[in-house]
Structure 1
Amino acid sequence: MSRLQTTPSGWKLTTLGTFIDFKNGINADKNAYGSGTEFVNVMDIFKRNFIKKCNILGKVEITEKQKAEYSVKYGDILFNRTSEVPDEIAFSSVYLDETEITFGGFVIRGRQKKELLDPLFAGYCFNNSSIRREMIRRSQGVVRANIGQKDLNKVPILIPPKDEQKKIASVLALWDNAIAKTEALIAAKEKQFEGLTQKLFKPNHSWKPYRLAELFDNRKESNNTDLPLISITRDKGVIPHSETNRKDNSSEDKSKYLRIHPNDIGYNTMRMWQGVSALSGIDGIVSPAYTICIPKKIVDPEFIAFLFKTKPMIHKFYRYSQGLTSDTWNLKFHHFCEVKAEIPDIETQVEIAQILNTAKHEIDLIKKTLEQYRSQKRGLMQKLLTGEWQVTSAQPAAEGELQDRTKENVA
């Protein structure tokens, strides 16, 4: 259960079934959904560690008897019992509201027979990597992963004393608050960035219309297999393929792969209408799924990269990407060349790109801070939920009072 080879003093090692009753949710007629009692579904559990009535969007019409049988009360722990992949099985969320609601058929309710877990602590303890491994290991299914009540009954759990549970929950809540505030800040900054982009890319009388054929050449240079394979993404730009979660194509024949140079604009030939384009800052090779464009001297590459992300341009790419059938989307270079765009002189382009790069850099720094908070929280959870670290103060994060139990002689 833990990197500690012994159970920390005062902690209890048991299994979930010894103190929790599990029950599958209700499966109502399809016409019953849309009004009635709030019910928890799988997506509600994926979104948060804790749920309140105001967070629930789904409703279902059920009888009073069903409401009693499938009730969700304060402190109940809800698990998703099915998922597309094993890694997403049995995520949990704790209900923290006094109003009783209900829960759907793809959810398992856990209700404590003996209240060994503080509800706030329960919102975190099931995210412990040791418990997650046990749940994933016990899941079954070929097409979809499933976990049942009997499987959850056997999952081992290490439970600290109640007072330490409260301290652990208070520490992790500090990180949750920091993460939530940072996420809100990012959302606000991205909204500001969108407004700034719309303002800066609003053409005036000095902007001139061009066909993209006048602004770009098509790079068809064959690959050099000594160069790294790279990918073009909508959010992260041009990055090494190894940094994506896509399959490894290292063994494939790359005779048709293309070179991409710094300052080239690459786009996904079938996804340009979704905004999948970026300016390259590295040398590499790309698969035939991409088209490589070389900006001419009258355009600033960074300005163009931002322009291609604007809604008016994406709408134009959308129109030119439509194929002969409704399920065909393909922006070949000759179609790309027919798209029209208005641009200012090169000096103005550079100025606009600098302003947007500064704003984007600020957002990127905040996103790095968010990742640091998330990483710190994951590390803290592993230490605190296994008893390797002990909270010695009610406000340990502010005072730095976390004690490493591995240095103690724990019985």
Structure 2
Amino acid sequence: MTQTDHQNEPKLRFPGFDTAWEEKNLGEFFTFKNGVNADKSAYGKGRKFINVLDIISDTPITYDTIIGSVEISDKEFEKNEVRYGDILFQRSSETREEVGQSNVYLDQERTATFGGFVIRGRPITEIEPEYFHNLLKTARVRKDMTARSGGSTRYNVGQESLSAVPITIAPTLNEQRKIAGFAGAMDAKIAQLERKKALVEDYKKGCMQQLFSQKIRFKDDIGNDFPDWEEKRLGGIVSIKKGHQLNRDDMIEGAEYPVINGGISASGYTDTFNTKGSVITVSEGGNSCGYVDWQPHDFWLGGHCYALPLKDSVSHAGYLLQFLKNAQSGIMALRVGSGLPNIQKRDLEKLPVALPHPDEQRKIADFLSALDRKIDLISQELTHARSFKQGLLQQMFV
């Protein structure tokens, strides 16, 4: 690749290409159409149906990766068909940053349809689909696209707005294909890592089911069987403590201590803590209530979260974390409330826990934690691969 300082050209270009890049609008390459709005009873069967979850995937959409389905007539399907090279855009979102996210359909053999929260971009001239797939993810295009969104409770982007989005593109299909080939190779690496991670996660899930159902048992260090497991209530093993709510004004950017509340990640950071680390937490309220996590460092426990410090040394925190992770769907089933869901402390305290001998707890925890470390390492590789791709592509587009 070669460096360039010319205006309206990327910093990196493949050798042999020196023609100036062109200023265009998306409407010069695509026509746009909104998707299918079917009766509720029509979903879950019929034809493959692209929705927002498919669009936000890291990798291009193919027939086999599509999650949903919908039953519609042949005539309706023909009007709303998605075929190779079509670009799908997210039409609506609760946050402005997500509006207009896009993905490309790259199945050359089978077609699908798409939903009402999606806009289809159908090429009206010859394009390189994977080139546009990456072009539309660049910061410059995303900034312009989100700026064109509107709405009060939800943000929306329309067909006319998409058509007017300005883009700067490589002037020849050959150069576009070179860039697309590089990006495709990176996507293949990312997809390989995602498959590797999914395989280890599935393996761990299977091991947890076998271990906690006692179909597989560890033996002690001299090869003898451990004693039978006991069943206890969670409230007999841990002290369930609820935190104190912080306002947004109390959050401090760049502060040391994470604020752990009702979500699956930190709500923000603050300069003090109210809970020591090395403890299990369970989200108490919100859409993620029942989510089980481990806090290795000191943190601020929010008002929509429980901390579960052990009452004694008989129980192994690592074992209990893995047991509760395995039981997470059951914990989430404890939710009450029609508005903002929550989990009552008294209901969490009644949760049955299967408790092996302390040494068997340790063996189970060590085995499953080793798999967690393997998953974390693959996740780090994924993060690095995505950052590497993003960094290079930023220099290969204007």
Instruction: Tell me: CA distance 1:119–1:327, structure 2 relative to 1, closer, same or farther (3 Å).
Output: closer
* Alignment-derived partner of residue 12 in structure 2: none
In structure 2, what is the Cα distance between the partners aligned to 1:32 and 1:275?
Answer: 29
Shift of 1:101: 5.8
8 Å contact from structure 1 (residues 322, 329) kept in 2:
yes
CA RMSD of aligned residues (A): 4.0
Secondary structure of the corresponding residue to residue 259 of structure 1: coil
* Alignment-derived partner of residue 191 in structure 1: 202
Alignment equivalent of 1:259, drawn from 274, 278, 281:
274
Alignment of 1:80-99 (within 5 A): 80-96=90-106, 97=108
* Alignment-derived partner of residue 306 in structure 2: 291
* Alignment-derived partner of residue 157 in structure 2: 147
Alignment equivalent of 1:60, drawn from 50, 56, 72:
72
* Alignment-derived partner of residue 190 in structure 2: 179
Instruction: Tell me: CA distance 1:274–1:158, structure 2 relative to 1, closer, same or farther (3 Å).
Output: same
Q: What's the TM-score, normalizing by structure 1?
A: 0.72
Instruction: Tell me: CA distance 1:265–1:131, structure 2 relative to 1, closer, same or farther (3 Å).
Output: closer
Shift of 1:50: 3.8
- Unmatched tracts of structure 1, length 5 or more: 236-242, 387-411
Shift of 1:139: 1.8
Shift of 1:366: 0.6
8 Å contact from structure 2 (residues 99, 155) kept in 1:
yes
* Alignment-derived partner of residue 378 in structure 2: 366
Instruction: Tell me: CA distance 1:155–1:352, structure 2 relative to 1, closer, same or farther (3 Å).
Output: same
Secondary structure of the corresponding residue to residue 143 of structure 1: coil
* Alignment-derived partner of residue 124 in structure 1: 134
Alpha-carbon deviations, 1:270-294, whole Å to 9, x = none?
4799642334322233123233333
Secondary structure of the corresponding residue to residue 23 of structure 1: strand
Shift of 1:191: 1.1
Letter in 2 for 1:294: P
* Alignment-derived partner of residue 210 in structure 1: 232
8 Å contact from structure 1 (residues 38, 60) kept in 2:
no
In structure 1, what is the Cα distance between the partners aligned to 2:213 and 2:47?
Answer: 48
Alignment of 1:9-408 (within 5 A): 9-16=18-25, 19-25=28-34, 30=39, 40-47=50-57, 50-53=60-63, 57-61=69-73, 63=75, 67=78, 72-96=82-106, 97=108, 103-115=114-126, 117-160=127-170, 161-203=172-214, 205-217=227-239, 228-231=257-260, 244=266, 246=267, 248=268, 259-270=274-285, 275-295=290-310, 296-311=312-327, 315=330, 317=331, 321=334, 329-332=342-345, 334-386=346-398
* Count of paired positions: 362
8 Å contact from structure 2 (residues 257, 269) kept in 1:
no
Greater shift, 207-216 or 296-305, is seen at 207-216
Shift of 1:171: 0.8
Shift of 1:365: 0.5
Shift of 1:86: 2.1
Instruction: Tell me: CA distance 1:214–1:274, structure 2 relative to 1, closer, same or farther (3 Å).
Output: same
Secondary structure of the corresponding residue to residue 63 of structure 1: helix
Instruction: Give aligned-pair identity as a percent.
Output: 25
8 Å contact from structure 1 (residues 266, 290) kept in 2:
yes
In structure 1, what is the Cα distance between the partners aligned to 2:329 and 2:96?
Answer: 36
